[in-house]
Each structure stands twice: as structure tokens, then as C-alpha cells.
Amino acid sequence: MSHLEGGPESDKPMLRRGFVAVRNRLTPDDVRAAAVALAERALELPELTHARTVAAYVSVGTEPGTLALLDALRARGVRVLLPALLPDNDLDWGAYTGEGALARVLHGGKMALLEPAGERLGPDAVTAADVVLLPGLAVDARGMRLGRGGGSYDRVLARLADSGAHPSLVVLLYDAEVVEHVPGEAHDRPVHAVVTPTSVRRFT
């Protein structure tokens, strides 16, 4: 468990800055090694073993790396959906067909994101997923996830709930980002599991 733990809701920006600062100290070799280990752990999940469609994302910068996992899932014959950020911070989706079919897209003053270059399937495409892999900065003992604060995945989770879809929700993190407590809000939804480079933890 990390010492970077939360209190009131107003602590969220400070917490985010703390977790991002730790990530920013990682070297490219650290990130690459963690990505390989993360993929190995994630591919052991029964939920991913049996999944036909997985909604995922392409990691950027020092985020826990996802490309090795995306390629392994695609090699298994899994349909992998990747997000494309819309102007209102909602997410559209497109199919992952390989690293060469990703486009680097700069959204305003935000960091450049790698998005699928092909056909857009609409925001509701995520409701067909058996598993949704979520980015985040931390998760606590209840399964509550600390996101980056943009609200995009809050919309995704609300859309899943409104549609009656019940995919497995899995957050991908580094080991030190599994903490005792993060501040939450009434609309926050817990994830079912967290995968780190060394472990898998499930929440009930």
C-alpha cells in the first residue's frame, strides 16, 4: 500500500499531482519492463481469457504500458476497442487493428493521445464489451478508482450502467498505486479488479 492516500474530495487534485510526479520519475526502461509484466499478469485473468470484446486504451507517456497487452489480445482473436476523445470529453470507439493503425491526436492543450485511425463506432460501442480496461492513477481497498479528472470514464461507466451492460471493470496500475483509500463521490463506481506488474487484486 502506498502512503499517497486520500481524505476529502478536495484532496483529489493534490493526490493526482502526487501520483503523476512519481510516474514522471520512471525511466523508459522502467516503463517497458513494467508493460511486459503487466501484460503477463493481465492475460492470466479468466475474464480476459473468455472475452470476445475488450474495451481498452493506448497508454501514453509513463502510464502503465498497454500495447503489449493489446497485441496479445488481438493475437488471441479478441476484438479490441480503443477510445477516441470527443470535444465534450466523451469517448467514441474504434477497433484496434495494430500499432501501425494508430493516429497521434493532439486535443487542445492536452497531451497527444494515440487513437484508432479507422471507422468510428459511436460512444455506445463500449456497451458490447465483456471487459473494460480502465486507466487511472490509483485504486483503493474498496475498488474505488482515482482517475485523471477529465470525466471521460465517468461517462463510460454511467453509459454502461444505463444500458444494463455488466462488463468486468479492470484498472491497470503500478504496484505503489494500490492504496488504502482514495476520496470518492456518489457517482463513482468501484472496479472489479486491479492488475499491476506483480499482482492481481479483486474487489467484492
Binding site residue list for substrate:
58, 63
Extract the annotated binding site for ATP. 12-16, 145-153
94 in Cβ contact with 70 (< 8 Å): no
Extract the annotated binding site. 12-16, 58, 63, 145-153
SS3 189: coil
**Best CA proximity match to 197, nearest among 15, 3, 59, 18:** 59
**Best CA proximity match to 93, nearest among 174, 153, 146:** 153
SS3 201: strand
- Interhelix angle 67-75/28-43, rounded to 10 degrees, is 30
